[in-house]
Amino acid sequence: TVGCVAVDAAGNLAAATSTGGLVNKMPGRIGDTPLVGAGTYANALCAVSATGVGEEIIRRTAARDVAALVEHRGLPLRDAAARVVAGAPRGSVGLVAVSRGGEVCMARNTTAMFRACATEAGHDEVCIW
Partner 1 sequence: MGWALALHGGAGDVPRTLPPELREPRLATLRRSLDLGAAALREGRPALDVVELVVRELEDCPHFNAGRGSVLAADGTVEMDAAVMEGATLRCGAVSGLSTVANPVSLARLVMERTPHVYLAFAGAEAFARDQGVETKDPSHFITEHNIERLRQAKEANRVQVDYTQPMNGQATQQAQTPADDNSQTG
* 65-104 residues near partner 1, rule: CB under 8 A: 91-98, 100-104
Based on CB atoms, which residue is closest to partner 1, 49 or 82? 49
Q: In angstroms, what is the minimal distance from the CB of 127 to partner 1?
A: 9
User: Which residues 15-54 are close enough to bind partner 1 by CB under 8 A?
Assistant: 15-31, 33-36, 39-47, 49, 51-53
Q: In angstroms, what is the minimal distance from the CB of 82 to partner 1?
A: 15
Q: Is 1 in the site for partner 1 (CB under 8 A)?
A: yes
Q: How far is residue 7's CA from residue 99's CA, in Å, rounded to a whole number?
A: 7
Residue 119 among the catalytic residues: no
Helix (H) or strand (E) run with residue 93 in it: strand 93-99
Q: How far is residue 1's CA from residue 18's CA, in Å, rounded to a whole number?
A: 6
How many other CB atoms are there within 10 angstroms of residue 30's CB atom?
A: 12
Q: Which residues are catalytic?
A: 1
